[in-house]
Structure 1
Amino acid sequence: MTLDETEALREELRGSRLQPNARPSDGRILDALRTFYEGGSVFLVLTATPEQFEDVYRILVDDLAVLGFELSRRDESPTPQNVEVFSVAEYEALVSSDHREEIKIALEVARSLLAGEGAGSAERAS
């Protein structure tokens, strides 16, 4: 990966951070993952794959875990299906070497955000 590609990926990952106050769709995704995972303040979308009736997500939580789940587009409730929770090490072992490099960069971005903004920044205001 070239330096320009690495920088572009960092920017893309920063932009993928779930921000429920800025994007309502992010609130639905965050609500869905909160049904099975507590904690976390930085949520970076590693992949979002549209399928026929649902979207499939892989989300890095802080620098601790990768969550995988499907979220129906037909049902407005934030009820995830096919939930998977991986440690970062477990997830890295499952993916290709190219994707492992992307995860390494995602971890750098998450750690930078954690250090710079403190906890609670992705929480939804009640």
Structure 2
Amino acid sequence: MKLIGSKQEQDFRKELEGSNLLLTKDGKAEKILNVLRVTFGELKSAYILNWTPEQGEDIYTILVDIDKIAKIEISRVNHSEVPLIETYNLRDFQKRLSKIFQIKLAVAIDIAKTEHQEG
């Protein structure tokens, strides 16, 4: 998807720039990063695309580096419970998304690519 610099894209960019887990220093981010590192090894970036608070758990959809998607479910009730993780191929994941979420994903990929070139 080609980005055009729309207001929607700019809003997503602002939101996503603050969601890079590698730059966040709190317990929840560390827990998510640990799950991601066990699954993928070393990470260059990890952007939260979506967060869904459920009754007893939080579900995060995360762009890992520039080509992987992880969906992580972390219990808010039982902190010793091992988080569940599902991984997706980026191309397969994109096909199922709404137009607006495809734009958000494209912005996240653009940010990650820029970050990877700088790093």
Q: TM-score range by the shorter chain?
A: 0.7 to 0.9
Percent identity of equivalent pairs:
28
Query: 2:57 aligns to what?
Result: 54
User: What is residue 106 of structure 2 aligned with on the other side?
Assistant: 104
| Cα-Cα RMSD | 2.0
CA distance in 2, matches of 1:56, 1:70: 4
CA distance, structure 2, for counterparts of residue 98 and residue 12 of structure 1:
14
TM-score by length of 2: 0.85
1:20/1:12 CA distance change after superposition, 3 Å: closer
- Structure 1: any 5+ residue segments left out of the alignment? 119-126
Tell me the CA shift for residue 29 of structure 1: 1.1
Partner of 1:80: 83
- Alignment correspondent of 2:18: 15
Shift of residue 113, structure 1, vs aligned partner: 1.4
2:117 to 115, 118, 126: 115
Aligned to 1:90: 92
Give the counterpart of 1:39 among 38, 42, 46.
42
Report the alpha carbon displacement of residue 20 of structure 1 after superposing the two structures with TM.
6.2
Report the Cα distance in structure 2 between the residues aligned to 1:37 and 1:104, rounded to whole angstroms. Answer: 21
Partner Cα separation in structure 2 for residue 22 and residue 66 of structure 1? 21
Counting helix residues as a fraction of each chain, which structure ranks higher? 2
Structure 2's unaligned 5+ residue stretches are none
Q: What TM-score do the two structures reach when normalised by structure 1?
A: 0.81
